[in-house]
Amino acid sequence: MSELRPALISFLLLTVITGVVYPLAVTGLGQALFSDKANGSLIRDGDRLIGSQLIGQPFLDPRYFFGRPSATAPQPYNGAASSGSNQGPTNPALATAISARVAALRAFDPENKTSVPIDLVTASGSGLDPHISPAAAEYQVPRVARMRNRPESEIRTLVKEMTEGRTFGILGEPRVNVLLLNLALDGKQAG
């Protein structure tokens, strides 16, 4: 019994500190200092919510840039259930899926004989990856330009503008946010 009292009471008190006070303090400070980011970096169009800057969306229309394949269920880019494919490297289903994705890209763009950057045909870890590599964007420039009847140079310039570099010149990888790029193609500003 003498062992039980300190165990129980310290557990309750530390639960209040680490389970109530601490998260509330982070919430209070986070909301005060970085309100937009703490609430999901949402994008509005007028008073409609049309996305989060950090969460990718599915694009199937060849007039848009495509994002990475997504393995979420039941539909791709399902924000309510993040998931990767978890397919192993020698699983025949993975090679089949990649072949099918390459074939689909080629069908939209028969003239383009260059090989497809790997990130454009492999499922992301989260199923919600908002980015593609600059190479994957470049691969799609001719198609998007043709579909929209706009010069390739104009689309290419837009991609360049939307490309984020490595943080401090070293951390991470160069990347392009597909949702923001497609909004810019439609002449919409993300805000």
111-170 residues in contact with another protein (CB under 8 A) are: 114-119, 121-136, 138, 166-167, 170
**In terms of CB distance, is 114 or 153 closer to another protein?**
114
- 109 sits near another protein (criterion: CB under 8 A): no
**In the bound complex, what is the minimum distance in angstroms from residue 113's beta carbon to another protein?**
9
**In the bound complex, what is the minimum distance in angstroms from residue 70's beta carbon to another protein?**
11
**In the bound complex, what is the minimum distance in angstroms from residue 189's beta carbon to another protein?**
13
- Residue 157, SS3 per DSSP: helix
- 83 sits near another protein (criterion: CB under 8 A): yes
Q: How far is CA 21 from the centre of its chain?
A: 32
- 107 sits near another protein (criterion: CB under 8 A): no
37-43 — which CB contacts under 8 Å span 24+ positions?
A: 43/179, 43/183, 43/190, 43/191
DSSP state of 171: B
**In terms of CB distance, is 11 or 151 closer to another protein?**
11
Determine the Cα–Cα distance for residues 103 and 97; give it in Å rounded to an integer.
Answer: 10
**In the bound complex, what is the minimum distance in angstroms from residue 92's beta carbon to another protein?**
8
Who contacts 85 (Cβ-Cβ below 8 Å, separation ≥6)?
71, 94, 97, 123
Contact flags string 38-77 toward another protein, x per CB under 8 A: xxxxxx----xxxxxxxxxxxxxx--x---x-----xxxx
Who contacts 126 (Cβ-Cβ below 8 Å, separation ≥6)?
82, 83, 84
Q: Which of 149, 171, 187, 189 is in the footprint of another protein by CB under 8 A? A: 171
